[in-house]
Structure 1
Amino acid sequence: MLVAVQRLCFILLLASLVPYSEGANTGCDVWSLTIVPDVCCTKCKPGNRLVDRCGRYPELLCTPCEPDSYTTDPISDSCRKCTQCTDLQFTLKPCNISSDTVCGCKKGYLCGNKECSFCVTECGKGEEPNNFRSCNKCSHGTFNDRIHSMCKPWRESCPEGQILVTKGDALKDHECRLDLDVEPTKDILPVSKKDEMNWLPVGIAGGMAGLGVLCIIASVVACVQAQNKTEKSLKTDSPDQELLEDSRIMIVEQEDCSFHHPEQEQGGSSESISTQDSESKLIV
């Protein structure tokens, strides 16, 4: 009978303490009934550390963390010291009894881990982060076209039907292009740094053109001289057989050197026939 009364009194005491403990920021948040009149705490309120596991009053089983300290463990018996942001960081959220300081990194730096407990140098394109919180340039055969990411290897070949037009570097991959007019090749075409005119082919072409002009002029002069010589030979007062033979040869050479159109060539043939008739008359 006495035990039953004690239990009833204890239950009434707990009922009177519940509104107070739920509205307060201190003490035990969840407790269990054990041997009367004690209770045991299974979870402290946020920001409170455990003082005693079991006791008569739940609000005395846990106590808040001291200034500049915090705890996230509801049954821890100690609090942790608040984190101080470094020179490379700034405070995003100050510390309180239930959470640590939240830091961010200044411009040019990035968080080194999920908790942002330290900062690393922000790596640009063509670089990658290392284990020393700094950056390394992409090695030959790799590239990085993003901010603060790891370098990737160049592609080994182009897709079918495409050709390599630009060799990769630390900032970009090999560049492939679809070209239906050019047969795909595995060779990498180097990119010219400066479009400069090559004067050697121009000089050779100019020399050949000039030589061709000189040949044409020489041929024309030779033909004109041959024609003049033939005319002089035909006008002599005492032609003989050898003179006529030379005249025929010169006439033939003159016809070969002619630069007239086909119609004009036929006219020249008629003139040659007339000349031959005249020569026949002279021979008779």
Structure 2
Amino acid sequence: PSFSSVLPGFTVNKYAGLCCPPHLRCLVYALCSPGFKLKEDCTKEGESKCEPCKEGRTYLERSNYAKNCLRCTRCDDNEEEVSPCKKSSNTVCRCIEGFYKKRIDSVTRECLRCKTCGPGERETQPCTPESDTVCECKDFRNKKNNRNCLPCQNCRSADCQQECASGTDPTPKPKDTGWGVWSHYLLAAFGCVCVVLLVVMGIMGILVVRRKLKGSSSFLSAEITSQGSEKSTRRLIQEASENVLNQSIPVCEREQELLSKLPDCVPKEIKISELIYSVLDQVPLRRVKELVRSLGVSDIVIERAENDHLRDTKEAQYQMLRVWAKGSAQGGGGVLARPLLYHLLDKLRDMDLGGTAEELETKYGDQ
């Protein structure tokens, strides 16, 4: 078998002899084949001695002069084994269906749950074991605060107006027919008739009141002096005014009664302890500390919680999140401020934990 060159332009063959300087002979012959490690260095006359790696436990993928084999990789949670570890190749793992691989650094990786496109979004790229789902807003919709896709017709800010500027409104406008045109005219005519009737009724009411006042004034002037007649006239006017006011009172009382039956729109309270346990159930164990740091909890607080609960990791993580949430409690009842919930959801999305954020927003968001 042939051996790889040690220096550029030099090759070595076991049977054909050396094509490189003699002092490199032992170094070249020290190379072991893939799947083997160096047991004993070569001598000037002989070759090196190699022994195989342990099948299923250790491996070496290339020709080498290493004295130790590498440990086989074990598939983590949410991973499945594609091919087992062999002497000359490492284990090959991939994320199970519904999860994708995210590389944390050059060595560390983690399988995260695939994102689900929300309302008003469409899927442009499905989730694969190597990449997450890619979503975009449907036509004539725009993202609000990088979260929800809203119809352009509800757009108010300058950003979304620019985003919605291209294209036309997808809502089909009904074509005007003969009946549609006439219906507008009929509605306008009906409105005019109602206004005229109200004006006529008002004028008639004023005339009736004046006639009654005039008749009462003539009758009283024959019985009493001009001073008494004047007082009676004032009394009649006052009584007429009181009657008008008394007739309007039931309407006001009816409005108050209807208002009293309206439900109170009070947002649902978020209990701190319940939210923290929901977060710990959804966020992977190894990423809780990363989340806590992103929320602004100091390393001193994190270390203190870990030291106080050495044998109970979940309780330690609970205390870390409790320190973050305690400063926002409302009324002393352990209730989380709603802006702090949205801050938590944004941090989860920044960590590519969009699925967890969606579940928490569905459970604790605005009802």
Normalised TM-score (structure 2): 0.30
Normalised TM-score (structure 1): 0.37
Considering fraction of residues, name the structure with more helix: 2
**Bigger Rg over Cα:** 1
